[in-house]
């Protein structure tokens, strides 16, 4: 962080890049889905059409101030989180927080959304949130073990430090393959895709948290999804794939990272909540603990 202007540019650019890349990831997800189902899939700009359409809605309902603030927190929390995520040439304020702070900042949007959905007074939404929080409990435990292992290995909690280490030495995935596998498993849960999308469950609880979201509220959730995919990809890339020396390499990596869970997602049905918790607490935790034993 050399100057104020650079910082300001980063504050604006990092979330914007995250949004654009995230849009492409949403498109990729839908394209992969279409290909796997032998369809053609949406046109190139479909994610933009959707978001513009949703923000262009002329009427929309609000269930009260907390419903609105919840959406502001959900999008705003992610905007903030993107600035903690180092990308090639831009570190943002990554050195002020590090991985622990980042994982807790990432809970802010979920909390905001949970509060907003709560005020909708729709039990489907509340059930969705209760399941989402349970899912978080499920995937965060393997994830946090992975974070512990990675931070111990690199002797740092700073993402910038981790990336530097990997670029000098070797990618984390080669040094800690078991942790990388467990991390990928946790990532699947974190992205909220099948088989772990129990909290959305469209046919059962009517998309859970999204049940009462219309117009710009739904648009906010679409924006949030772009950030979510981007964050997952960049986080994993920073931890295990050595970040990126340049933008091309970086983008290739994050798209590959995100494409793996997406492809897995589309060939699986859903797990029940308790099955999800069980599987998350069993396999990735076991693999991650063995991985930690190698690191220590």
Partner 1 sequence: MSKIGNIPVNAQNGKKRTNPLAGVFDELVQFCQSRSMFMLHYCTGCGAIELPPAMTSRFDMERLGIQPMVTPRQADILLITGYVSVKTLKRVILTYEQMQSPKYVIGICSCTVNGGMYWQSYATAKVLNEYLPVDVYIAGCMPRPEAVIEGLRRLMGNIENGKGIAWKDYFQRYDHYLGNQQHLFGNDWQTPTDIIGEARHYGLETEQTCGEHSRILEQHQQPLEPYKMRIKL
Partner 2 sequence: MSVLDDLLLFTALASVAIIVLRRFAFISKFSVVVYVLATVLLIKMSALGYGGEAVYSSFTVNVLGQVLQWRFDALSWFFALITLVVALFTALFMSGAWGDKYRKEHSKEAYGLLQVALILNVLSMLVLLASGDLLSLFIGWELVSWASFMMMALNPDKVARKAAIKYIVYAMAGAMAILMAIAMTYNMTGSLDYVQVMQGMAQLNNSQIAVLVSLYAIGFGIKMGVIPFHLWQATAYAETPGAGAVFMGAISARMGLYALILVIVQIIGLTRVAAIEIPYTFLDMQNALAWVGALTTIIPTYIALKQNDARYLLAWHGVGQGGYMLLGVMIADSIGTAGGIMHVFNYATYQAALFMTVTAVIYRTGTSNFSKLGGLVTQMPLTFMVMVVSIIGLAGIPPMNGFVSKWLIYRALLLDGQPLLFVAAVIGTLGTILSVYKLVHNTFLGQLRLEHQDVREAPLSMLIPMLGLAIIIFATGVMPGVVLDWVAAAQIAIGIAPVEHNLGGIELVQGGLNMIWVTGVMFYGFAVGAIIFYFLGGKSKHIHQYDNYAGGHFLTSKVRYHYSNHFYAGLMHLIGGWYRNIFIKLEYALVSLVSFMSQLSENFYRSSQPAMLVAAIVMLALWYIMSADGSAPVLVQGLQGGMSK
Binding site for partner 1 (CB under 8 A): 30, 34, 37-43, 45-46, 48-50, 52-53, 55-61, 63-65, 202-203, 206-207, 210-215, 218
**What would the x/- binding string for partner 2 be over residues 3 to 22, using CB under 8 A?**
--------x---x-------
How far is it, in rounded angstroms, from Cα 159 to Cα 165? 10
**Which residues in 2-33 are b (16+ Cβ under 10 Å) and which e?**
eeeeebeebbebbbebbbebbbbbbbbbbbbb
Query: Which range in 77-85, 167-175, 188-196, 246-254 contacts partner 2 by CB under 8 A?
Result: 77-85
* Closest to 216 measured CA to CA, from 71, 73, 111, 117: 71
Q: Which does 259 bind (CB under 5 to 8 A by kind): partner 1, partner 2, none?
A: none
- Which residues is 173 bridged to in the sheet? none
The option from partner 1, partner 2, none interacting with 81 (CB < 5 to 8 A, set by class) reads partner 2
Comparing CB distances to partner 2, the nearer of 150 and 262 is 150
Please list every residue from 93 through 152 that binds partner 2, using CB under 8 A. Answer: 93, 95-101, 104-105, 107-108, 111, 114-115, 118-124, 126-127, 129-131, 133-134, 136-137, 140-141, 144-145, 148-149, 151-152
Output 27 or 145, the one with its CB closest to partner 2: 145
Which residues lie across from 90 on neighbouring strands? Answer: 87
Structure tokens at 87: 């990308």
Query: Tokens 């772990």 sit at which residue?
Result: 196
- Least CB distance from residue 262 to partner 1, whole Å? 16
Site for partner 2 (CB under 8 A): how many residues?
91
Structure tokens belonging to residue 150: 């990675």
* Closest CA relative to residue 147, chosen from 259, 82, 235, 243: 235
32 binds partner 2 (CB under 8 A): no
Question: Among residues 262 and 276, whose Cβ is nearest to partner 2?
Answer: 276
User: Smallest distance from the beta carbon of 62 to partner 1, in angstroms?
Assistant: 9
Determine the Cα–Cα distance for residues 225 and 26; give it in Å rounded to an integer.
8
Out of partner 1, partner 2, none, what residue 39 binds, judged by CB under 5 to 8 A for its kind, is: partner 1
Nearest to 200 by CA among 101, 274, 131: 131
Task: Look at residues 99, 164, 146, 139 and name the one whose alpha carbon lies nearest to residue 295.
Answer: 146
Using rule CB under 8 A, residue 277 touches partner 2: yes
């Amino acid at each position: 962080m050399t100057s104020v202007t650079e910082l300001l540019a980063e504050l604006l650019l990092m979330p914007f890049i995250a949004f654009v890349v995230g849009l492409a990831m949403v498109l990729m997800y839908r394209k992969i889905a279409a290909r796997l189902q032998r369809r053609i899939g949406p046109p190139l700009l479909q994610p933009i059409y959707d978001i513009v359409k949703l923000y262009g809605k002329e009427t929309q309902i609000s269930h009260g101030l907390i419903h609105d603030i919840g959406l502001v927190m959900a999008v705003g929390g992610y905007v903030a989180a993107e600035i903690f995520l180092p990308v090639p040439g831009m570190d943002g304020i990554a050195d002020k927080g590090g991985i622990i702070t980042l994982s807790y900042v990432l809970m802010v949007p979920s909390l905001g959304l949970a509060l907003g959905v709560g005020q909708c007074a729709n039990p489907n939404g509340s059930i969705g949130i209760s399941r989402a929080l349970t899912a978080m409990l499920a995937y965060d435990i393997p994830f946090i073990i992975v974070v512990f292992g990675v931070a111990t290995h690199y002797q740092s909690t700073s993402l910038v430090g981790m990336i530097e280490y990997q670029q000098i030495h070797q990618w984390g995935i080669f040094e800690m393959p078991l942790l990388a596998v467990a991390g990928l498993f946790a990532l699947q849960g974190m992205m909220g895709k099948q088989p772990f999308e129990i909290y959305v469950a469209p046919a059962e609880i009517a998309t859970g948290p999204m049940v009462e979201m219309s117009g710009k509220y739904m648009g906010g959730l679409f924006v949030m999804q772009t950030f979510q995919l981007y964050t997952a990809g960049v986080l994993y890339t920073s931890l295990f794939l050595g970040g990126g020396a340049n933008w091309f390499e970086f983008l290739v990596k994050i798209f590959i990272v995100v494409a793996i869970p997406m492809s897995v997602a589309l060939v699986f049905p859903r797990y029940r909540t308790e099955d999800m918790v069980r599987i998350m607490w069993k396999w990735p935790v076991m693999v991650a603990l063995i991985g930690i034993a190698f690191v220590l």
